[in-house]
Amino acid sequence: MARMWKKLLLVFTLAASLSGCGYNAMQSQDEAANAAWSEVLNQYQRRADLIPNLVKTVQGYATHEKDVLTQVTEARARVGSIQMDAASATDENKLKQFTAAQNQLGSALSRLLVVSENYPQLKADQSFRDLQAQLEGTENRIALARKRYIDAVQVYNVTVRSFPNNLTAMMFSLKTRPNFTVDNEKAIAAPPQVNFDQQGK
C-alpha cells in the first residue's frame, strides 16, 4: 500500500513539475502557430484560385501580352509545386523557398495589372474589375494572415528561449521556429529616391 502511495506521489510530482516548466504553454503556442500558418496557406490558395479567371479575362483583351500572361501562369505553377504544411513551415530553407515563389507570383501579378492599364476596354470590363477587387482584398488578407503568423511564432519563440522554459525545450528537443523574412532587406532599408525634375519643359 505504501508503495502505491509513493508511485502516486511521484506521478503527481512529475505532473506538477511539467505543468510549471512551460511544456504545455509551448505545445499550445506551437499549435497556435500551426493554425496561423494554415490561414496563411488558405489565403495564398485563394489568390492562386483567382489567377486562372484573371488571366482568361486579360487574354480576351490583351492578346499581345503573351509574355506577361505566361509569366503569371508559370509563377502560379511554381507556387503550386511547393508542398507546404505546418510541419514544413518549421524548415527555414523550405519557408524561404515558398516565400520566394510567392513573391515571384506577386510580382508577376503586379506586372499583369500594370499591363491592364494599357487597355481601356479591359479596365472597364466588370468581371475584370471584380477580379481586381477580389485580388486586392486577398492581398490584404495575406498580409493580415502573415502578420498573425509572425506574432504567433514570436510568442512561441520567446517562450522556448526564456528561462526556465528553455531547459524544458532542450529536454524535449523543441526549437524556435523560423519566421518570414524580407528578401531584399538592404534595398528596403535605403530611403527611396524622389525626383521632381520636370522633364520636357
Asked which of 13-27, 102-116, 119-133 is least confident by mean pLDDT, the reply is 13-27
pLDDT one-digit tens code per residue, 144-166: 999 999 999 999 999 999 998 99
* Residue 132: closest CA among 160, 109, 155, 151: 109
| The model's pTM | 0.77
Query: Which pLDDT does position 116 carry in this prediction?
Result: 86
**Cell 505543468 -> residue:** 19
pLDDT one-digit tens code per residue, 119-141: 888 888 898 999 999 999 999 99
Q: Is 159 exposed, middle or buried (0-12, 13-18, 19+ CB in 10 A)?
A: buried
Residues 6+ apart with CB under 8 A from 181: 96, 99
Look at phi and psi of residue 66 and say left if phi exceeds 0, alpha if psi is from -120 to 50, else beta.
Answer: alpha
Distances (CA, A) of 51 to 78, 84, 97, 144: 13, 19, 21, 20
* Residue 52: closest CA among 14, 79, 20: 79
Chain mean pLDDT for the chain: 84
**Residue 9: band (very low, low, confident or very high) from pLDDT cuts 50, 70, 90:** low
Q: Output the CA torsion 133→136→137→143 (10° steps).
A: 180
Query: Which pLDDT does position 181 carry in this prediction?
Result: 77
Query: Which pLDDT does position 65 carry in this prediction?
Result: 84
pLDDT one-digit tens code per residue, 38-85: 999 999 999 999 999 999 998 888 878 888 899 999 999 999 999 898
Query: Which pLDDT does position 93 carry in this prediction?
Result: 92
Query: Which pLDDT does position 122 carry in this prediction?
Result: 87
Query: Which pLDDT does position 41 carry in this prediction?
Result: 94
Asked which of 29-38, 67-76, 176-185, 191-200 is least confident by mean pLDDT, the reply is 191-200
Residue 188 has pLDDT above 70, yes or no: no
Distances (CA, A) of 176 to 18, 19, 83, 145, 149: 19, 20, 22, 20, 14
Percent pLDDT > 90 in the chain is: 53
8 Å CB contact between 180 and 99:
yes
